[in-house]
Amino acid sequence: MAKVSFDEMLDAGVHFGHLRRKWNPNMAPYIFMERNGIHIIDLYKTQAKLEEAQKAIKQIAKSGRRILFVATKKQAKYLVADLVKKVNMPYVTERWPGGMLTNFATIRKAVRKMDNIDKMASTSSWENLSKRERLHITRERAKLEKNLGSISDMSRIPAALFVVDINKEKIAVAEARKLNIPIFAMVDTNTDPTLIDFAIPSNDDASKSIHLIVNTMVNAIGEGLGERKMAKEKQDLKEESNESTEELDIKSKSEAINIAEDDADNSAEKGKVQTEGKTKRKRKTISKKN
């Protein structure tokens, strides 16, 4: 698993926090110092927390479960979308749909509605609709695609959440906490890390900092998926070898049975010949006596 160096975090500006007057006292253990009224994050602690989060998220990905990425702030949305697409994980970069986790069944209905519109567009009934109706349905489809297109393949509640700014995504954090879903998040000096299971103290405003942390987590997920794929291939090979050995055993057993049957037939034929020869001799001796 790739380890992020101290210099990389320094170059990306991960250490820059918010103004002192905006700080959250719960972030005190992760603050190194104050400079010009701005808090500086302790990067050694960031490094340790990042490694811990990497290991945990890798295990979740290795188990085949899904991780939902949430980043709706302007400087993070496009960046996160591009990175997360590499590992084929769901993400929310537009407005968070309220009740997406706590009322997941309703969100799935909206996704199914989008699929139904796609199916209808490929049938002859689409042509029978008026131009105004088609325009209305097309706009509705575009709106659903914008808000829910990135989670259309998410058939169940995710196993974990990764959040870029927990103050901005407080509804998502509250829903995940209500359902006891593990939360991975970038926590700045103005946030409360006690709300998060795997808090990564870092600058959640700079695009370079966001890119570094999210890319590191995405790489960990990729490693987990790769290990899962390798384990599955090994299992398939093992099953194939077991099947081939079973086939060989069955074949050898059938050959042994055939040989035994042939031996039994041969011995039976020999016995028959011997009995026939004895009866002929008896007949001859009887005829001579007569």
DSSP codes joined into one string, 67-119 = EEEE--SHHHHHHHHHHHGGGT--EE-SPPPTTTTTTHHHHHHHHHHHHHHHH
N- to C-terminal Cα separation, the chain: 104
Q: Is the pLDDT of residue 278 over 80?
A: no
pLDDT (0 to 100) of residue 151? 84
Q: What is the DSSP letter of 2?
A: P
What region, left, alpha or beta, does residue 256 occupy, with left being phi > 0 and alpha being psi -120 to 50 degrees? alpha
Identify the CA nearest to 58 among candidates 219, 216, 224: 224
Average pLDDT over residues 32-48: 91
Q: Which of 62-71, 111-120, 168-177, 192-201 has the lowest mean pLDDT?
A: 111-120
Tokens 């709300």 identify what position? 195
Question: How high is the mean pLDDT of the chain?
Answer: 85
For the chain, list the domains and their CATH numbers. 102-155 (1.10.287)
- For residue 160, is it left (φ>0), alpha (ψ between -120 and 50) or beta? beta
Q: What is the pLDDT of residue 265?
A: 65
The pLDDT of residue 127 is 82
pLDDT band at 240; cut points 50, 70, 90:
confident
Check residue 119 and give its pLDDT.
Answer: 86
What average pLDDT does the segment 192-204 reach?
93
Query: Would you state the pLDDT for residue 219?
Result: 93
Helix (H, G, I), strand (E, B) or coil at 18: strand
Q: 183 has which bridge partners?
A: 161
Rounded to 5 degrees, what are φ and ψ at 185?
-155, 150
User: For 163-187, how does the pLDDT look when each residue is reduced to its tens digit (9 = 90+)?
Assistant: 999 999 999 999 999 999 999 999 9
Instruction: Give dist(CA 75, CA 83) in Å, integer.
Output: 14
State the pLDDT confidence band at 52, using cuts at 50, 70 and 90: very high
d(CA 116, CA 131): 19
For residue 68, give the nearest of 150, 184, 162 by alpha carbon: 162
Mean pLDDT throughout 124-134?
85
Amino acid at 172: A
Q: Determine the angle formed by the axes of helices 43-62 and 207-289, rounding to 10 degrees.
A: 30
Q: Report the percent of the chain where pLDDT is more than 70.
A: 86
Which two three-digit tokens encode residue 47?
Answer: 């490094």
Question: In the structure, what pLDDT confidence band is assigned to residue 280 with cuts at 50, 70 and 90?
Answer: low
Task: Quote the CA–CA distance of 16 and 25 in Å, as a whole number.
Answer: 16
d(Cα 250, Cα 256) in Å, to the nearest integer? 10
Max CA distance (Å), the chain:
140
Collapsing DSSP to helix, strand or coil, 135 comes out as: helix
91: its two tokens: 């993400």
Q: Is the pLDDT confidence value at 283 over 90?
A: no
Question: Judging by beta carbons within 10 Å of its beta carbon (0-12, 13-18, 19+), is residue 281 exposed, middle or buried?
Answer: exposed
pLDDT of residue 208: 93
Mean pLDDT of 24-41: 90
Residue 271 in this model has a pLDDT that exceeds 80: no
How confident is the model over 74-114, as pLDDT tens digits?
Answer: 989 899 999 999 899 999 998 888 888 998 888 888 888 88
Q: Residue 53 — pLDDT band, cuts 50, 70, 90? A: very high
